[in-house]
C-alpha cells in the first residue's frame, strides 16, 4: 500500500473525530473524539516514518502521543467525575452556568 492510502485513512479518521466532538452532546463523546484525532495523527507519524527511510523520529513521536493520550484521558475523566457529582449530568448543555 502506498503512503497516500494511509494518509487518506488518517484524514478521514480526523474528520470523524471532529464530528464526534462537535455533533454529540455528551462529554464522553468529546473524549472519544479527541482519542480519534490523536489516533489519526499517530497513523500519520508512523506512515511518514515508514516511507521516509524508517528512521526513528515519527515512531518515537507516536509513542509519546500515546502517553499524552493516556495522561489526558485520566485527567479529563477525573474532571468529568467531579462535574457529574456537582451537576448530576455530563452534558455540556447542562453544565453552563456562566454567561455574558
Using CB under 8 A as the binding rule, the residues of this chain from 23 to 62 that contact another protein are 23-54, 56-62
- Choose among 17, 24, 19, 25: nearest CA to 89: 25
| 49: DSSP letter | H
- Which residues between 62 and 81 bind another protein (CB under 8 A)? 62-81
Output the smallest distance, CB 27 to another protein, in A: 7
Output the smallest distance, CB 24 to another protein, in A: 7
Output the smallest distance, CB 92 to another protein, in A: 7
Amino acid at each position: 500500500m502506498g503512503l497516500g492510502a494511509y494518509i487518506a485513512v488518517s484524514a478521514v479518521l480526523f474528520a470523524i473525530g471532529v464530528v464526534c466532538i462537535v455533533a454529540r452532546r455528551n462529554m464522553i463523546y468529546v473524549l472519544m473524539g479527541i482519542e480519534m484525532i490523536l489516533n489519526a495523527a499517530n497513523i500519520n507519524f508512523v506512515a511518514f516514518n515508514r516511507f521516509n527511510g524508517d528512521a526513528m523520529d515519527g515512531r518515537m513521536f507516536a509513542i509519546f502521543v500515546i502517553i499524552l493520550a493516556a495522561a489526558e484521558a485520566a485527567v479529563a475523566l477525573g474532571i468529568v467525575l467531579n462535574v457529574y457529582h456537582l451537576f448530576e449530568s455530563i452534558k455540556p448543555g447542562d453544565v453552563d452556568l456562566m454567561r455574558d
